[in-house]
Structure 1
């Protein structure tokens, strides 16, 4: 069992989830049940899966949930890229978030390696 407050990747993922909620608030209302919802669910999935894994009893279980979180990070990267291509987010808004998502992917990968 791990303390969430000690996991830098969880803290970073929480920051990204908050940023996603703020930036997606500006998406058109007709995207509310489409890309807006998908991006938000994906962003929340990253810290949520890290948290669930941290609360499990074995390193194997933790590793599995961090792997799921990493998949969500890749999904979020894809959805943000699409939102930019669809002109829902400006490049200067999306670039720092994409950089944070890549950092989370790297942190997750390192965490997974450490749990082997």
Structure 2
């Protein structure tokens, strides 16, 4: 199995998390800022944690958590856009990125499960 640092999905989600932190660093709604940045940070963190686990079952469990966090982040991005915290163009680009990350995670989980068979 690859190192998590070599995975395109980890690289993309880590980059997205960093972009969120940078873009929202001046947001005064600390509760919202904390929630959305934590959701973004949870994606690459769960990928990394899963890849450090011993079993395929544990790995896919953490990849599933990462996928759930991508959905949580997507929801928060829609809300941030609607309330004017993030410009529409930026929010939609990040929403598309979370959708792609979710697809990549789904495919990775399927690959890991299929290898076990």
TM-score (norm 2): 0.92
Q: What secondary structure sits across from 2:50 in the alignment?
A: helix
Aligned to 1:7: 7
1:18-57 deviation digits (Å, cap 9, x = unpaired): 1111121242x1x11x110000111100000000000011
Give the count of matched residue pairs.
113
More contact order relative to length (CA 8 Å, sep ≥ 6): 1
Superposition misfits of 4+ residues, deviation over 3 angstroms: none
CA RMSD across the alignment = 1.1
Aligned to 1:75: 72
What is the CA–CA distance in structure 2 between the aligned matches of 1:90 and 1:5, rounded to whole Å? 30
Q: Does 1:36 align with 2:41?
A: no
TM-score (norm 1): 0.93
Instruction: Note the residue ranges of structure 2 that are not aligned, 5 or more in a row.
Output: none
Instruction: Note the residue ranges of structure 1 that are not aligned, 5 or more in a row.
Output: none
What is the CA–CA distance in structure 1 between the aligned matches of 2:9 and 2:81, rounded to whole Å? 25
What is the CA–CA distance in structure 2 between the aligned matches of 1:92 and 1:82, rounded to whole Å? 14
